[in-house]
Amino acid sequence: MQFTAQQIAAFLGGDIVGDATVSVNNLSKIEEGTPGTLTFLSNPLYTQYIYTTQASIALVRRDFEPEHPVTPTLIKVDDPYTCLTRLLELVNQAQGNKTGIEEPCHIALSAQMPDDVYVGAFAYIGERVQVGEGSKIYPQVYIGDDVVLGKNVTLYPGVKIYHGCRIGDNCILHAGVVIGSDGFGFAPQADGSYKKIPQIGIVILEDNVEIGANTTIDRATMGATVVHKGVKLDNLIQLAHNVEVGENTVMAAQVGVAGSTKIGSQCMFGGQVGVAGHRRVGNRVVVGAQTGIPNDVKDNMEIMGYPAIPKIDFARQTIHVKRLPELNNTVKELRKEIEELKKLIHKDEE
């Protein structure tokens, strides 16, 4: 699809500087821009590239004034990054506008399917499943009995949703996501073996949740594992049984949250964070990458390290750790001097 600068400016409410008739059919990074593409300048660190990019159109801030001639037509907007997001959403909708049911696939007779749904080949949809309007179920998706999908849900290839789970409106689950697998519950026995504890709960994803590829969310032992609205989870994340994640919290790849832990709203977790079971993490908590959380965390904290401590304390510790070799050498020298002083004192006493 091709769009002119005039069309893009009208859609974004921007002002054009340059040729309004120039057209583009793709997007590019500003440092790699080629003719026929649209790019953007949001971070001042990349300003140098606006003078060398070969992109045909560039989104810039309204107050941007070039100091040298530029090749692309400029579209001035309030926030180039936000406007780029709007354009990406438009392109994504155009590319993903699939409807109809492909064969072969299995759809139980008791399943409720709207007319505008898309179901890809080799998908399995179980008994009494409810699918909302505008939803897209890509090939090789498994949806177990009694699952409820809201409106405009997108399930990419290979997603697995076990029986009874509920997915809210506008949720996106990427390839390989597993929702509702059994929680890790085993009771130790007298002979040293472990007896499986049945996991009879479900998983609930509220509206506008997005989950990255190969992330797993376990069903509750009883009740529900709950991911509240607006949560964004990266790839390769594990949420254990009966975990609860508050609204608009984001987690980067390889985060692991143990059973029955409650995460507050508007939190930010870096990659490879681990949280112990039965803990409570407050609202608006920022957690640095590779942090281990063995205890409860209060609201509005920024924490790092293991065990997790305030970010500023972690920074101080890091400085001291870097000095350990120097301090160790100093201690050795002091011990040597002390031993020499002891010898002198001993001679004087004789």
Contact between 294 and 280 under an 8 Å Cβ cutoff? The reply is no
- Looking at residue 55, what DSSP letter applies? -
Instruction: Please list the residues that pair with 60 across neighbouring strands.
Output: 76
Q: Active site includes 241?
A: yes
DSSP annotation string for 290-317: T-EE-S-B-TT-EEETTTTEEHHHHHHH
Who's near 134: CB < 8 A, 6+ residues apart? 114, 116, 117, 151, 152
Three-state DSSP state, 250: strand
Contact between 170 and 156 under an 8 Å Cβ cutoff? The reply is no
Q: In one letter, which amino acid is 81? A: Y
- Token digits for 215? 């992330």
- Token digits for 198? 């049945």
Who's near 60: CB < 8 A, 6+ residues apart? 40, 41, 50, 74, 75, 76, 77, 80
Three-state DSSP state, 197: coil
| CA-CA-CA-CA torsion sign (295, 245, 241, 222) | positive
Catalytic residue among 106, 174, 228, 241: 241
- Token digits for 43? 């971070």
Distance from the Cα of residue 171 to its chain's centroid: 13
Determine the Cα angle at 176 with ends 171 and 182, to 5°. Answer: 90
Who's near 256: CB < 8 A, 6+ residues apart? 237, 238, 240, 273, 274, 275
Closest CA to 261 of 272, 246, 247: 246
Q: Give catalytic residue positions.
A: 241
